[in-house]
Amino acid sequence: MMNSAVTEQNIIQLFSRMNETIDSAQTILVASHIDPDGDALGTQLAFAAYLKSIDKQVILVRDGNIPDKYLFLPGVNEIPYTSEEFLDALEFDTAIILECPDPKRIGRTNELLDSSVRILNIDHHLDNANFGAVNWINSSASSVGEMVYEYFAWLGYKINPDVATSLFTAIMTDTGRFRFDSTSARTLQISGELVASGARPQMITDQIYFSMQPQAMKLVGKILNNIEYYFDGKLCVLMMTDDMLKETGASRHDSEGIVDFTLFTKGVDAGLFIKEDSENSVKASLRSRDGVNVASIAGTFGGGGHFNAAGCTIELPIETAKSRLLELFGEVFNGA
């Protein structure tokens, strides 16, 4: 973590080691987590552009669909899906793994990370397992996008408008549009530099937040219609059932971002969005304001994330999962 414990000297040493590792590499895999988000895709694309600019062979991979709202990102259509045939033909000596607390998070490509592969691990998650040959973990960074910018700045790499667009997207989405507590003066300085380098905030914001399909809007309506409050209005709960998807014709990834609604109410300190995955499995997204550590609640179920934003999978029917989560929030709000 690049806090006060990590001196300027340390970070320069770290950047030098990253640079040496990249310099000596032939073919570099650039991977991020399954079901990629803005920070994952943005930093993958930015890193790939940089590596190509220094004549490295680059392999991008993704495990999971790219949400439609990110299809405007320059080059995003060239990130291949990790099909079996694709993986069979894959060879690389170095892997840059972005935004993954654990290498398993990259999905199936993880199977190819044997001991011959040098791993550069770049992440801002608190619970990163330091699995790389070089580990750069900065849990006070707003996003991996911000970290990648710092590295590029140290290198003196001149950022073009495409790379600026990718990194701005990474930072903006991971800060909830510059709203989360992780948004520092440096976050905004960097974002300003990216605008100066050609990122267009209005275009990017419109593409990501104001391009919803009608069925997705109808899904939002159904979910909000069943909004619930607990613990004197301190916890807001939203649920998405399979029936809601069927009734609206929306798909699972249309639910991305709906968790944000859980913190829109005055007096709410924590939010919970529970999505039914199957009869006996749900995904829960947890959000909070300052004082509530939702990472620890998610951790109870084997999940994780950040203090104010976390997630987990619970192998229980949706109503049972909700009760279990409410018990844990009860310990927070009613005092354990």
Rounded to a whole number of angstroms, the minimum distance from the CB of residue 170 to Mn ion is 7
Rounded to a whole number of angstroms, the minimum distance from the CB of residue 232 to Mn ion is 32
Specify the stretch interacting with Mn ion by CB under 5 A; choose among 33-41, 233-241, 260-268, 317-325: 33-41
**Residue type present at position 307:** F
Rounded to a whole number of angstroms, the minimum distance from the CB of residue 279 to Mn ion is 31
Rounded to a whole number of angstroms, the minimum distance from the CB of residue 124 to Mn ion is 6
Q: Could you tell me the end-to-end alpha-carbon distance of the chain, in angstroms, rounded to an integer?
A: 31
Within residues 132-151, the interface with Mn ion by CB under 5 A covers 143
* Nearest to Mn ion of 190, 245 (CB atom): 190
Q: By CB under 5 A, tell whether 39 contacts Mn ion.
A: yes
* Nearest to Mn ion of 34, 332 (CB atom): 34
Contact status, residue 173 vs residue 180, Cβ threshold 8 Å: no
For the chain, give the number of residues.
336
Q: What is the torsional sign of CA 208, 213, 219, 225?
A: positive
Specify the stretch interacting with Mn ion by CB under 5 A; choose among 79-87, 94-102, 238-246, 302-310: 94-102
Token pair listed for 312: 């987990």
Rounded to a whole number of angstroms, the minimum distance from the CB of residue 237 to Mn ion is 25
Token pair listed for 26: 């032939």
Q: By CB under 5 A, tell whether 123 contacts Mn ion.
A: no
Residues contacting Mn ion: total by CB under 5 A = 4
Full 3-state SS string of 28-79? EEEECCCCCCHHHHHHHHHHHHHHHHCCCEEEECECCCCCHHHCCCCCHHHC
Specify the stretch interacting with Mn ion by CB under 5 A; choose among 55-63, 92-100, 150-158, 279-287: 92-100
Residue from 63, 146, 174, 276 touching Mn ion (CB under 5 A): that is 174
Contact status, residue 169 vs residue 208, Cβ threshold 8 Å: yes
Q: Please state, in angstroms and rounded to a whole number, the distance separating the CA atoms of residues 236 and 230.
A: 7
Q: Calculate the CA 245 to chain-centre distance.
A: 24
The residues that touch Mn ion, with contacts defined as CB under 5 A, are: 39, 99, 143, 174
